[in-house]
Structure 1
Amino acid sequence: MKKSISLTIILLLASSRAHSNPTLENSVWGRAAASAGVNVATLYSIAVQESGMRWRDGTFRPWPWTLNVNAGKNGIKAGPRRYASKEAAAQALKEMLGKGVTNVDIGLMQVNYYWHGDKVSSPYALLDPQTNITVAAGYLKALNKHNVSQTVADYHAPSNPARGKTYVQHVKHYEKIIHEKLK
Protein backbone atom coordinates (compact mmCIF):
# COMPACT_ATOMS: atom_id res chain seq x y z
CA MET A 1 0.00 0.00 0.00
CA LYS A 2 1.50 3.26 -1.07
CA LYS A 3 0.84 6.12 1.30
CA SER A 4 0.80 9.53 -0.28
CA ILE A 5 1.91 12.24 2.09
CA SER A 6 2.44 15.86 1.17
CA LEU A 7 5.40 17.32 2.98
CA THR A 8 6.17 20.99 3.36
CA ILE A 9 9.72 20.40 2.27
CA ILE A 10 8.39 19.66 -1.19
CA LEU A 11 7.38 23.29 -1.50
CA LEU A 12 10.97 24.31 -0.93
CA LEU A 13 12.34 22.07 -3.63
CA ALA A 14 12.27 23.56 -7.09
CA SER A 15 14.63 21.05 -8.64
CA SER A 16 14.64 17.27 -8.66
CA ARG A 17 17.88 17.11 -6.69
CA ALA A 18 17.52 17.86 -2.96
CA HIS A 19 21.25 18.16 -2.43
CA SER A 20 21.65 20.96 -4.97
CA ASN A 21 18.67 23.20 -4.19
CA PRO A 22 19.95 26.57 -2.99
CA THR A 23 16.71 27.48 -1.19
CA LEU A 24 16.76 24.29 0.86
CA GLU A 25 20.51 24.37 1.46
CA ASN A 26 20.17 27.89 2.86
CA SER A 27 17.31 26.97 5.20
CA VAL A 28 17.71 25.85 8.82
CA TRP A 29 17.07 22.29 7.60
CA GLY A 30 19.84 22.47 5.01
CA ARG A 31 22.38 24.10 7.30
CA ALA A 32 21.65 21.64 10.10
CA ALA A 33 21.80 18.64 7.76
CA ALA A 34 25.14 19.80 6.33
CA SER A 35 26.50 20.28 9.85
CA ALA A 36 25.35 16.78 10.84
CA GLY A 37 26.74 15.17 7.70
CA VAL A 38 23.37 13.84 6.55
CA ASN A 39 21.10 14.54 3.60
CA VAL A 40 18.48 17.20 4.24
CA ALA A 41 15.73 14.70 3.30
CA THR A 42 17.06 12.39 6.02
CA LEU A 43 16.97 15.14 8.64
CA TYR A 44 13.46 16.21 7.67
CA SER A 45 12.29 12.58 7.57
CA ILE A 46 13.52 12.12 11.14
CA ALA A 47 11.41 15.13 12.14
CA VAL A 48 8.37 13.68 10.37
CA GLN A 49 8.89 10.36 12.15
CA GLU A 50 9.41 12.05 15.50
CA SER A 51 6.64 14.65 15.55
CA GLY A 52 4.67 14.28 12.33
CA MET A 53 0.96 14.92 12.28
CA ARG A 54 -1.71 15.83 9.78
CA TRP A 55 -2.17 19.59 9.67
CA ARG A 56 -5.43 21.39 8.92
CA ASP A 57 -4.35 21.93 5.32
CA GLY A 58 -4.12 18.15 4.84
CA THR A 59 -0.33 17.94 4.81
CA PHE A 60 1.60 15.60 7.08
CA ARG A 61 4.45 17.53 8.67
CA PRO A 62 6.42 17.77 11.90
CA TRP A 63 4.61 19.59 14.71
CA PRO A 64 6.88 21.88 16.75
CA TRP A 65 4.79 21.88 19.92
CA THR A 66 5.08 18.14 20.56
CA LEU A 67 6.13 16.67 23.91
CA ASN A 68 6.60 12.97 24.59
CA VAL A 69 6.95 11.71 28.15
CA ASN A 70 9.13 8.61 28.14
CA ALA A 71 8.80 7.64 31.78
CA GLY A 72 5.67 8.86 33.48
CA LYS A 73 5.58 9.59 37.19
CA ASN A 74 3.82 11.76 39.76
CA GLY A 75 0.49 11.57 37.94
CA ILE A 76 1.88 12.28 34.47
CA LYS A 77 1.32 9.42 32.03
CA ALA A 78 3.91 8.40 29.49
CA GLY A 79 3.14 9.15 25.86
CA PRO A 80 3.06 11.84 23.20
CA ARG A 81 1.17 15.10 23.43
CA ARG A 82 0.61 17.82 20.85
CA TYR A 83 -0.25 21.37 21.86
CA ALA A 84 -1.91 24.15 19.87
CA SER A 85 0.81 26.70 20.59
CA LYS A 86 4.32 27.19 21.86
CA GLU A 87 2.90 28.79 24.99
CA ALA A 88 0.66 25.80 25.72
CA ALA A 89 3.55 23.39 25.21
CA ALA A 90 5.77 25.51 27.48
CA GLN A 91 3.12 25.50 30.21
CA ALA A 92 2.74 21.71 29.96
CA LEU A 93 6.52 21.29 30.04
CA LYS A 94 6.70 23.52 33.12
CA GLU A 95 4.14 21.32 34.88
CA MET A 96 6.02 18.15 33.90
CA LEU A 97 9.34 19.47 35.12
CA GLY A 98 7.69 20.75 38.29
CA LYS A 99 6.58 17.19 39.02
CA GLY A 100 10.07 15.83 38.44
CA VAL A 101 9.54 14.49 34.92
CA THR A 102 12.75 15.15 32.97
CA ASN A 103 12.75 12.20 30.54
CA VAL A 104 10.71 14.11 27.98
CA ASP A 105 11.26 14.56 24.24
CA ILE A 106 10.66 18.11 23.06
CA GLY A 107 9.81 19.74 19.74
CA LEU A 108 10.18 18.94 16.06
CA MET A 109 13.09 16.55 16.44
CA GLN A 110 11.97 15.25 19.86
CA VAL A 111 15.21 16.16 21.60
CA ASN A 112 15.30 14.39 24.96
CA TYR A 113 15.75 16.86 27.81
CA TYR A 114 17.19 14.31 30.21
CA TRP A 115 20.02 13.37 27.83
CA HIS A 116 20.54 16.65 25.96
CA GLY A 117 19.37 19.36 28.33
CA ASP A 118 22.97 20.44 28.86
CA LYS A 119 23.06 21.73 25.28
CA VAL A 120 20.50 24.49 25.93
CA SER A 121 20.12 27.29 28.46
CA SER A 122 16.66 26.04 29.45
CA PRO A 123 14.30 23.25 28.42
CA TYR A 124 11.99 25.85 26.88
CA ALA A 125 14.68 26.71 24.32
CA LEU A 126 13.97 23.31 22.74
CA LEU A 127 10.50 24.59 21.81
CA ASP A 128 12.17 26.99 19.38
CA PRO A 129 12.24 25.09 16.05
CA GLN A 130 15.65 26.40 14.97
CA THR A 131 17.24 25.56 18.33
CA ASN A 132 15.60 22.15 18.34
CA ILE A 133 16.82 21.30 14.84
CA THR A 134 20.31 22.59 15.62
CA VAL A 135 20.62 20.53 18.83
CA ALA A 136 19.34 17.43 17.03
CA ALA A 137 21.85 17.99 14.22
CA GLY A 138 24.64 18.27 16.77
CA TYR A 139 23.63 14.93 18.23
CA LEU A 140 23.49 13.35 14.77
CA LYS A 141 26.95 14.74 14.06
CA ALA A 142 28.29 13.21 17.28
CA LEU A 143 26.75 9.87 16.31
CA ASN A 144 27.84 9.99 12.68
CA LYS A 145 30.03 7.02 11.88
CA HIS A 146 29.71 7.52 8.10
CA ASN A 147 26.91 4.96 8.08
CA VAL A 148 23.68 6.89 7.73
CA SER A 149 21.43 3.99 8.73
CA GLN A 150 23.42 3.36 11.89
CA THR A 151 23.49 7.07 12.71
CA VAL A 152 19.71 7.33 12.29
CA ALA A 153 19.14 4.14 14.33
CA ASP A 154 21.36 5.45 17.12
CA TYR A 155 19.53 8.80 17.09
CA HIS A 156 16.40 6.99 18.20
CA ALA A 157 17.61 3.95 20.12
CA PRO A 158 21.37 3.81 20.69
CA SER A 159 21.14 0.85 23.05
CA ASN A 160 18.38 -1.08 21.26
CA PRO A 161 19.41 -2.24 17.75
CA ALA A 162 16.03 -3.84 16.97
CA ARG A 163 14.14 -0.60 17.74
CA GLY A 164 16.75 1.36 15.83
CA LYS A 165 16.37 -0.84 12.76
CA THR A 166 12.58 -0.40 12.75
CA TYR A 167 13.02 3.36 13.19
CA VAL A 168 15.38 3.52 10.20
CA GLN A 169 12.74 1.77 8.07
CA HIS A 170 10.18 4.43 9.01
CA VAL A 171 12.61 7.27 8.25
CA LYS A 172 13.53 5.69 4.89
CA HIS A 173 9.82 5.43 4.09
CA TYR A 174 9.46 9.20 4.47
CA GLU A 175 12.66 9.81 2.50
CA LYS A 176 11.30 7.69 -0.33
CA ILE A 177 8.09 9.75 -0.40
CA ILE A 178 10.11 12.96 -0.52
CA HIS A 179 12.30 11.70 -3.36
CA GLU A 180 9.27 10.41 -5.33
CA LYS A 181 7.60 13.79 -5.03
CA LEU A 182 10.72 15.41 -6.44
CA LYS A 183 10.73 13.39 -9.65
Structure 2
Amino acid sequence: MNIKKIVPLILTLSISVNAHSNSVLDNSVWGVAASYAGINVATLYGIAVQESGMRWRDGSFRPWPWTLNINKSKKGIKAGPRRYANKEAAEQALKALIEEGIRNVDVGIMQVNLYWHGNKVSNELDLLDPKTNINVAASYLKVLRAQNDIRKTVADYHAPTNAVRGNSYVNHVKRFEKIINEKLK
Protein backbone atom coordinates (compact mmCIF):
# COMPACT_ATOMS: atom_id res chain seq x y z
CA MET A 1 0.00 0.00 0.00
CA ASN A 2 1.48 3.40 -0.87
CA ILE A 3 1.89 6.31 1.55
CA LYS A 4 -0.90 8.34 -0.11
CA LYS A 5 -3.34 5.62 0.95
CA ILE A 6 -1.78 4.87 4.36
CA VAL A 7 -1.70 8.44 5.73
CA PRO A 8 -5.45 9.13 5.36
CA LEU A 9 -6.20 5.66 6.74
CA ILE A 10 -4.05 6.23 9.84
CA LEU A 11 -5.52 9.69 10.38
CA THR A 12 -9.07 8.46 9.91
CA LEU A 13 -8.55 5.55 12.27
CA SER A 14 -7.21 7.92 14.85
CA ILE A 15 -10.27 10.13 15.12
CA SER A 16 -13.11 8.10 13.60
CA VAL A 17 -13.02 5.26 16.08
CA ASN A 18 -15.59 2.82 17.36
CA ALA A 19 -15.84 0.74 20.51
CA HIS A 20 -13.42 -1.89 19.22
CA SER A 21 -10.84 0.42 17.71
CA ASN A 22 -8.84 1.28 20.82
CA SER A 23 -6.54 -1.62 19.98
CA VAL A 24 -6.35 -0.37 16.36
CA LEU A 25 -5.29 3.08 17.55
CA ASP A 26 -2.85 1.64 20.09
CA ASN A 27 -1.27 -0.51 17.37
CA SER A 28 -1.03 2.33 14.85
CA VAL A 29 1.94 4.65 14.40
CA TRP A 30 0.25 6.90 16.99
CA GLY A 31 0.10 4.17 19.63
CA VAL A 32 3.64 2.93 19.04
CA ALA A 33 5.05 6.48 19.19
CA ALA A 34 3.00 7.37 22.28
CA SER A 35 4.17 4.23 24.05
CA TYR A 36 7.78 5.06 23.21
CA ALA A 37 7.32 8.61 24.54
CA GLY A 38 5.61 7.34 27.69
CA ILE A 39 2.42 9.30 27.10
CA ASN A 40 -1.21 8.51 26.35
CA VAL A 41 -1.98 8.01 22.66
CA ALA A 42 -4.82 10.55 22.92
CA THR A 43 -2.33 13.11 24.26
CA LEU A 44 -0.01 12.55 21.31
CA TYR A 45 -2.86 12.81 18.84
CA GLY A 46 -4.20 15.87 20.69
CA ILE A 47 -0.85 17.57 20.19
CA ALA A 48 -1.06 16.81 16.46
CA VAL A 49 -4.57 18.25 16.26
CA GLN A 50 -3.44 21.38 18.09
CA GLU A 51 -0.35 21.74 15.93
CA SER A 52 -1.69 21.07 12.44
CA GLY A 53 -5.42 20.53 12.80
CA MET A 54 -7.81 21.72 10.13
CA ARG A 55 -11.37 21.09 9.03
CA TRP A 56 -11.48 18.37 6.37
CA ARG A 57 -14.06 18.08 3.60
CA ASP A 58 -15.95 15.43 5.60
CA GLY A 59 -16.45 17.99 8.39
CA SER A 60 -13.98 16.40 10.82
CA PHE A 61 -11.16 18.37 12.44
CA ARG A 62 -7.91 16.43 12.06
CA PRO A 63 -4.18 17.03 11.68
CA TRP A 64 -2.93 17.92 8.21
CA PRO A 65 0.50 16.42 7.44
CA TRP A 66 1.46 18.91 4.71
CA THR A 67 1.63 21.92 7.03
CA LEU A 68 4.54 24.34 7.39
CA ASN A 69 4.65 27.22 9.84
CA ILE A 70 7.26 29.92 9.45
CA ASN A 71 7.91 31.29 12.93
CA LYS A 72 9.62 34.55 12.02
CA SER A 73 9.41 36.73 8.93
CA LYS A 74 12.67 36.78 7.04
CA LYS A 75 13.83 37.83 3.58
CA GLY A 76 10.37 39.13 2.68
CA ILE A 77 8.69 35.83 3.56
CA LYS A 78 5.91 36.37 6.08
CA ALA A 79 5.57 34.33 9.23
CA GLY A 80 2.57 32.07 9.63
CA PRO A 81 1.11 28.70 8.74
CA ARG A 82 0.84 27.31 5.25
CA ARG A 83 -1.06 24.22 4.17
CA TYR A 84 -0.24 22.37 0.98
CA ALA A 85 -2.41 20.04 -1.07
CA ASN A 86 0.08 17.19 -1.01
CA LYS A 87 3.50 16.08 0.16
CA GLU A 88 5.23 17.07 -3.08
CA ALA A 89 4.01 20.68 -2.84
CA ALA A 90 5.03 20.88 0.81
CA GLU A 91 8.47 19.46 -0.04
CA GLN A 92 8.99 22.07 -2.78
CA ALA A 93 8.01 24.85 -0.37
CA LEU A 94 10.25 23.51 2.41
CA LYS A 95 13.17 23.09 0.01
CA ALA A 96 12.74 26.73 -1.13
CA LEU A 97 12.70 27.94 2.50
CA ILE A 98 15.85 25.97 3.30
CA GLU A 99 17.56 27.41 0.21
CA GLU A 100 16.64 30.91 1.46
CA GLY A 101 18.24 30.12 4.81
CA ILE A 102 14.91 30.05 6.63
CA ARG A 103 15.14 27.29 9.21
CA ASN A 104 12.82 28.40 12.01
CA VAL A 105 10.02 26.41 10.40
CA ASP A 106 7.64 23.96 12.05
CA VAL A 107 7.15 20.99 9.73
CA GLY A 108 4.45 18.41 9.23
CA ILE A 109 1.76 16.76 11.25
CA MET A 110 3.42 17.35 14.66
CA GLN A 111 5.01 20.67 13.62
CA VAL A 112 8.55 19.51 14.37
CA ASN A 113 10.85 22.54 14.30
CA LEU A 114 13.45 22.28 11.53
CA TYR A 115 16.03 24.41 13.34
CA TRP A 116 15.94 22.40 16.58
CA HIS A 117 15.19 18.91 15.25
CA GLY A 118 16.30 18.83 11.62
CA ASN A 119 19.44 17.00 12.67
CA LYS A 120 17.35 14.02 13.82
CA VAL A 121 16.76 12.91 10.22
CA SER A 122 19.21 12.16 7.43
CA ASN A 123 17.30 14.41 5.00
CA GLU A 124 15.36 17.39 6.39
CA LEU A 125 12.58 16.80 3.85
CA ASP A 126 11.94 13.49 5.64
CA LEU A 127 10.19 15.53 8.34
CA LEU A 128 7.26 15.70 5.90
CA ASP A 129 6.82 11.94 6.16
CA PRO A 130 4.05 11.58 8.77
CA LYS A 131 5.52 8.50 10.44
CA THR A 132 8.99 10.06 10.64
CA ASN A 133 7.51 13.33 11.92
CA ILE A 134 5.48 11.56 14.60
CA ASN A 135 8.51 9.52 15.69
CA VAL A 136 10.80 12.58 15.92
CA ALA A 137 8.12 14.32 18.00
CA ALA A 138 7.81 11.23 20.22
CA SER A 139 11.57 11.19 20.78
CA TYR A 140 11.46 14.82 21.89
CA LEU A 141 8.46 14.14 24.13
CA LYS A 142 10.34 11.22 25.69
CA VAL A 143 13.19 13.56 26.63
CA LEU A 144 10.71 16.07 28.04
CA ARG A 145 8.77 13.30 29.82
CA ALA A 146 11.82 12.59 31.98
CA GLN A 147 10.43 15.33 34.22
CA ASN A 148 7.53 12.96 34.99
CA ASP A 149 4.90 15.72 34.75
CA ILE A 150 2.65 15.29 31.71
CA ARG A 151 1.30 18.85 31.83
CA LYS A 152 4.84 20.24 31.84
CA THR A 153 5.87 17.80 29.12
CA VAL A 154 3.09 19.00 26.82
CA ALA A 155 3.67 22.66 27.71
CA ASP A 156 7.39 22.35 27.02
CA TYR A 157 6.72 20.68 23.67
CA HIS A 158 5.26 23.99 22.54
CA ALA A 159 6.89 26.68 24.67
CA PRO A 160 9.69 25.47 26.96
CA THR A 161 10.67 29.00 28.00
CA ASN A 162 7.20 30.55 28.32
CA ALA A 163 5.01 29.02 31.04
CA VAL A 164 1.96 31.14 30.21
CA ARG A 165 1.97 30.11 26.54
CA GLY A 166 2.77 26.54 27.56
CA ASN A 167 -0.16 26.32 29.97
CA SER A 168 -2.56 27.76 27.39
CA TYR A 169 -1.29 25.18 24.90
CA VAL A 170 -1.80 22.34 27.41
CA ASN A 171 -5.42 23.41 27.89
CA HIS A 172 -6.05 23.22 24.13
CA VAL A 173 -4.37 19.81 23.85
CA LYS A 174 -6.33 18.49 26.85
CA ARG A 175 -9.58 19.63 25.21
CA PHE A 176 -8.71 17.63 22.09
CA GLU A 177 -7.53 14.71 24.21
CA LYS A 178 -10.89 14.62 25.99
CA ILE A 179 -12.76 14.48 22.68
CA ILE A 180 -10.48 11.70 21.41
CA ASN A 181 -10.89 9.68 24.61
CA GLU A 182 -14.67 10.02 24.36
CA LYS A 183 -14.53 8.64 20.81
CA LEU A 184 -12.41 5.74 22.04
CA LYS A 185 -15.08 4.63 24.51
Q: TM-score, normalised by structure 1?
A: 0.90
Give 1:14's match in structure 2, choosing from 13, 19, 22: 19
Aligned residues: 173
1:3 aligns with none
Q: Partner of 2:16: helix, strand, or coil?
A: helix
1:162 aligns with 164
Query: Would you say the 8 A contact 1:13–1:23 is kept in 2?
Result: no
Partners of 2:42 and 2:73 lie apart in 1 by 32
The residue type equivalent to 1:182 in the other structure is L
1:149 aligns with 151
2:139 aligns with 138
2:96 aligns with 95
Partners of 1:41 and 1:48 lie apart in 2 by 10
1:173 aligns with 2:175: yes
Superposed, 1:1-183 pairs within 5 Å as 8=12, 9-15=14-20, 21-144=22-145, 145-183=147-185
Q: Partner of 2:109: helix, strand, or coil?
A: coil
Q: CA deviation at 1:182?
A: 3.4
In the TM superposition, what whole-angstrom CA distance separates every residue of 1:121-180 from its partner, at most 9, and x where no partner exists? 121100000000000000000000111100000000001111000000000010111123
Q: CA deviation at 1:50?
A: 0.0
Q: Deviation above 6 Å: which 4+ runs of structure 1?
A: none
Partners of 2:19 and 2:29 lie apart in 1 by 17
The residue type equivalent to 1:83 in the other structure is Y
Partners of 1:10 and 1:94 lie apart in 2 by 31
Query: Would you say the 8 A contact 1:32–1:134 is kept in 2?
Result: yes
The residue type equivalent to 1:43 in the other structure is L
Partners of 1:182 and 1:119 lie apart in 2 by 32
The residue type equivalent to 1:95 in the other structure is A
Which 5+ residue runs of structure 1 have no aligned equivalent? 1-6
The residue type equivalent to 2:49 in the other structure is V
Q: Percent identity?
A: 68
